[in-house]
A and B are shown apart, each in its own frame.
Chain A
């Protein structure tokens, strides 16, 4: 088997596993993730607590399983938000071209001049730290990149015969953009979104780690690592599970996205 196909397979299997565990988390988790077992603080893995416990004696396996929900909701939600704004912007700029395209793309370039995390931090400063605001901030930070990709694919389809034919039939602009062009942009959008979800999860975890995303006591990978950091030299177990979970999830999205790109022949 070729390396690329193997990578795609590994990524796909890991992705299904992560998604399944996250959806089923409340039923799979052996304990309630916020329950404190005060006599078992910072315990290494054992038969009772398979991955050990944190500084309040909370079960790390349960917290990691349930924490995946916050991470995935944040990552997927942010990318959906980015798509809902970026796709129309890119389609419009690419389809109409000319002055409109110039102005929109200048603005997009200026927004891309911001490191995504910085843009997110600006928005969070103004709104305050919470899961919802982190989602909003990362979503907005994703808009310019998505708009740019969609615009460049749209641009390449503008003069395609099926688009010209739709225009000649007398179809409206909206129909041509969403009915004719969009289905052909979709493969690129799917690939882009898959890879972006991985990075959005990473950005969300970074914000939570900095105390600016998901707020304790809710279980979340970034929050768990933030809390584990203070006790790192006493016990490093609390850091292992959320760290590995984050890494595996992001690798899965990346491998799967790259594999999709090869398969769909997307830009």
Chain B
């Protein structure tokens, strides 16, 4: 297991390096330099050259890239052009808010999605299954900003007003207030994730239920409850772990839209802010942090998977 983890860790390091390369390339190889962004379009050529020299933009791209990677690793994340604050501080604060939202959504998805998917697998082809599968098609196909706005109109409108329409309160302001701000954005994220998890659980469990060892378990007289919980779920849920990790990547895209709908101060809104203001130092770190989080989450999922299924470790 330790050897497997080390081997995977080495490939993660390579992927993270490539990810940073993609972020750097996407931003630096394209037209319009950072100096133009800072000084505006009416800057004199002389002022532009001076600033470019000060910022090191006149050096070869590879040197710039190496310098940037060195600074990122040493914790110097630069200063946001639009907010005039250190990027590291802003990102740390926003990342915490987004992580809270993501955790809330994930918690609900696991608690609701796995039982629902199992239920569908047990009732395969019958009305309950058809209803659940149809619901997942709807869940997967309606954009987050539509579900979000519908929830907003129905549950936060002036006539009902159960939940606040926007914003976020820290947990120190009171657990009730904190939770009420989380409900609608988390619910919006949950709907699409739920569809993924239910589908994967359904097909995973259904495959396992058809396996000979399940028949053996039934024939030896195990109760249905024991067959499902102890024999089927153990193997049937393995692929669901992969889907959960992949969903984390979806979550990071979805969070951009959902945070915008509910004016939730997290990474997603920060990214939109950076895009709208063309705040390059802020945007490149946001992108790097989000992509790294995704890569690390997949690494964690691989480890859990390998721990649960010894066949993977030795392949």
Interface residue ranges, A against B (CB under 8 Å): 3, 7, 106-107, 109-111, 113-119, 121-127, 198, 202, 205-206, 209-212, 225, 229, 232-233, 236, 239, 243, 246-247, 250-251, 254-255
CB of A225 within 8 A of CB of B253, answer no
Most buried by A among B30, B146, B256: B146
Q: Which of A123, A209, A246, A255 contacts B257 (CB 8 A)?
A: A209
Q: Is B61 an interface residue (CB 8 A)?
A: no
Q: Report the nearest B residue to A205, measured CB to CB.
A: B143
Whether the pair B275, A118 counts as a contact (CB closer than 8 A) is: no
The residue among B27, B138, B253, B271 with the most chain A CB atoms within 10 A of its own CB is B253
CB-contact partner of B260 in A205, A210, A239, A251, under 8 A = A210
B57 within 8 A of A: no
B283 proximity list for chain A (CB < 8 A): 121-122, 125
Q: How far is the CB of A147 from chain B (nearest CB, A)?
A: 15
A247 touches B138 (CB 8 A): yes
Contact B149 A122 (CB under 8 A): no
| Selected A-B contacts with CB under 8 Å, 5 pairs | A113-B18, A113-B298, A125-B274, A212-B275, A225-B145
B-side contacts of A232, CB under 8 Å? 149, 152-153
**A115 contacts B143, CB within 8 Å?**
no
Q: Which of B89-97, B206-214, B223-231, B287-295 contacts A (4 or more CB under 8 A)?
A: B287-295
Closest chain-A Cβ to B301's Cβ sits at a distance in Å of: 13
Partner of A118, one of B133, B152, B252: B252
B278 within 8 A of A: yes
Check if B307 is an interface residue, CB within 8 A of chain A. Answer: no
Tell whether, in the assembled complex, residue B157 and residue A210 are in contact, meaning their CB atoms are under 8 Å apart.
Answer: no
**Could you tell me which residues of chain B, from 230 to 287, have a CB within 8 Å of some CB in chain A?**
249-250, 252-254, 256-257, 260-261, 271-272, 274-276, 278, 280, 283, 287
CA distance A236 to B30 in the complex (A): 41
Chain A residues contacting B257 (CB-CB under 8 Å) are 117, 206, 209-210
Q: How many residues of B contact A (CB 8 A)?
A: 53
**A110–chain B nearest beta-carbon distance, Å:** 3
Asked if B174 lies at the interface with its beta carbon under 8 angstroms from chain A, I say: no
Which residues in B have their C-beta under 8 angstroms from that of A107?
A: 18
Q: Are B291 and A113 in contact (CB under 8 A)?
A: yes
Instruction: Sort A-B residue pairs by CB-CB distance and give the 10 closest, nearest first.
Output: A110-B18, A117-B253, A126-B30, A115-B253, A250-B141, A251-B141, A122-B26, A243-B146, A115-B252, A247-B142
B15 within 8 A of A: yes
- The answer to whether A125 touches B275, judged by C-beta atoms less than 8 angstroms apart, is yes
- Tell me the nearest residue of chain B to A122, going by C-beta: B26
In the complex, A115→B14 CA distance in Å? Answer: 18
On whether A126 and B26 interact (CB within 8 A), knowing A3-B125, A209-B145, A225-B145, the answer reads yes
Q: Which residue of B lies closest to A251 (CB)?
A: B141
User: Residues of B contacting A7 with CB < 8 Å?
Assistant: 137
B221 CB within 8 Å of chain A: no
Given known A202-B143, A239-B149, contact A251–B137 (CB-CB < 8 A) = yes
Q: Please tell me which one of the listed residues B149, B291, B294 contacts residue A229 in the complex, with CB atoms under 8 A apart.
A: B149
Is B72 close to A, CB under 8 A?
no
Contacts of B142 in A (CB 8 A): 243, 246-247, 250
User: How many angstroms from the CA of A122 to the CA of B279 in the assembled complex?
Assistant: 11
List the B side residues contacting A123 at CB < 8 Å: 26
What are the residues of chain B within 8 A of A236 when measuring CB–CB? Answer: 153
Most chain-A CB neighbours within 10 Å: which of B130, B141, B153?
A: B141
Which chain A positions have C-beta within 8 A of B31?
Answer: 126-127
- CB-CB under 8 A from B23, the residues of chain A are 122
Q: Of all chain A residues, which has the CB nearest B278?
A: A125
Known contacts A113-B15, A126-B26, A225-B149; is-contact A246 B143 (Cβ 8 Å): yes
Min Cβ gap B98→A in Å is 13
A113 x B256 contact (CB < 8 A): no
Contacts of B274 in A (CB 8 A): 125
How distant is the Cα of A124 from the Cα of B257 in the complex, in angstroms? 16
Closest to B284 in A: A122
Indicate if the CB atoms of B275 and A124 lie closer than 8 Å: yes
Q: Please tell me if the beta carbons of A254 and B140 are within 8 angstroms of each other in the complex.
A: yes
Chain B residues 155 to 193 lying within 8 A of chain A, measured CB to CB, are 157-158
Which residue in chain B gives the minimum CB-CB distance to A137? B26
The 8 Å CB contact of B19, one of A113, A117, A205, A206, is: A113
Complex alpha-carbon distance, A6 and B152, angstroms: 34
- A119–B19 Cα gap in the complex (Å)? 11
Return chain B residues, CB-CB under 8 Å to A233. Answer: 153, 157-158
Q: Cβ of B137 and Cβ of A254 under 8 Å apart?
A: yes
Say yes or no: B250 contacts A115, CB within 8 Å.
Answer: yes
